Amino acid sequence: MPLTNATQRCPACLSASRSEVLTVRENMFGISEDFDYSVCSDCGTLALITVPEDMAPYYPSNYYSVDLDPERALGAPVVRQFAQLVISSALWGRGVFSGVASAVIPRRQLRTLVSVLGSIRRAGLANGRETRVLDVGCGSGILVFALGLAGVQDVVGVDPFMSSGRELSTGGCLIKQDLSEVEGSYDLIMFHHSLEHVPDPEASLKEALKRLTPGGRVLIRMPTPSSHAFATYGAAWVSLDAPRHLVVLSRPGLETLCQRLGAGVVSVADDSTSFQFWGSEQYLLGIPLMDRRSVMVKPSDAPFSKAQLKAWEEQAAVLNKEGRGDQAAWVVAPTPTPTPTFP
């Protein structure tokens, strides 16, 4: 039977009240199905009411987080050498090569890599290149590969939906397993747009916190409805991504969830892009994300000019500074236990 959340409390703040039910169409692949999300009236978190019994049809082989082999994308000698320079600069240096990253790494999934590495740098690699890093929901392992390329010596990626585990040429390791099966402890545990894909984010975050070394941190990158884009587009907001996104946490929802687990948000940095605009506008026009007319697939056939795309990118930068972007990177850490004082 499908999992039904209709009578459950908000997975973030545990409120039993909801302001509305939002009907959202699957718009990535153009599957003609609608899905209902409850919207918490207290914190604004969205939760899919009925989770399909079989999610496999919504994660086909061309789903973009699993169809990109990092050894092919970054493994060719010339590309690898140049990518190593860019990635190392973003992670350890002054980032002077970040501006040419889009020329070195042309695919959209990889163009964001420098931004992602920036969020990792802000989260902190406490032990430098010896920092133990775990990437939860790693997909094809592109980030695990990149961190190894930058010299991080102990990087593991886990994902229960990968076809099989393997070792990468940069030293990283990909394992087909769930977070609850992971052994050992880590200095940095990361959820890069994976926490919204699990039915119980509290359980996943709890498992992560249990596996932190003393002083360790959790990095969560995800979309949020606490944003200009969701307020503008509603059910057409591209990052709702029904039905793959099971729980889309609001900003206050995540903070409440962390507090309940004895943790707190150390920092947050918005990192939204023009995707929030062109993706949502495409949906309003009936253009799925993987359609040949999509900016994602063939920008030259998309119904937007280069000037419009540039304007949206500039607007995204403003929203990020204002804390109203549609995605962000949160650094979470256990709250220190107060030292008891005695009279």
If you ran DSSP here, which 8-state letter would residue 238 be given?
G
CA 170 to mean position of chain CA atoms: 23
Residue 180 lies in a domain: yes
Query: What was the pLDDT predicted at 194?
Result: 97
Domain that holds residue 216: 19-334
**SS3 assignment, position 270:** strand
Inside any domain, residue 224:
yes
The DSSP 8-state label assigned to residue 249 in this structure reads: -
Asked if the structure places residue 226 within a domain, the reply is: yes
Peptide linkage before 201 cis (omega within 30 of 0):
no
343 within a domain of the structure (yes/no): no
| Number of domains within the chain | 1
Is 242 within 8 Å of 36 (Cβ atoms)? no
- Residue 38 maps to a domain: yes
**Distance between CA 214 and CA 141 in Å, rounded?**
26
**Distance separating alpha carbons of residues 9 and 15, to the nearest angstrom:** 5
Q: What is the pTM of this model?
A: 0.91
Nearest C-alpha neighbor of 199 from the set 166, 244, 233: 244
Give me the sign of the Cα torsion angle 236, 238, 242, 247. Answer: negative
Non-local (6+) Cβ contacts of 242 within 8 A are: 24, 25, 26, 27, 34, 35, 37, 48
Domain membership of residue 96 (yes or no) is yes
Q: Consecutive 10-residue runs of the chain (343 residues): their mean pLDDT?
A: 58 91 96 96 97 91 72 82 84 65 52 84 94 96 93 95 90 95 97 97 98 98 99 98 98 98 98 97 97 95 97 97 98 80 59
The residue type at 32: S
Compute the C-alpha angle 254/255/260, nearest 5°.
95
Q: How far apart are CA 331 and CA 124, in angstroms?
A: 9
Residue 63 has a pLDDT of 80
Residue 1 domain-assigned (yes or no) = no
Q: Which pLDDT belongs to residue 100?
A: 56
What local confidence, expressed as pLDDT, does residue 78 receive?
83
Q: What pLDDT does residue 281 have? A: 99
Report how far residue 252's alpha carbon sits from residue 13's, in angstroms, rounded to the nearest whole number: 8
Rounded distance, CA 123 to CA 266, Å?
9
Q: Where are the beta strands (DSSP E) in the chain?
A: 3-4, 18-25, 34-40, 46-48, 50-51, 132-136, 154-158, 166-167, 173-175, 186-192, 212-223, 247-248, 263-270, 327-334
DSSP 335: P
CATH of residue 236:
3.40.50.150
Q: Is 5 part of any domain?
A: no
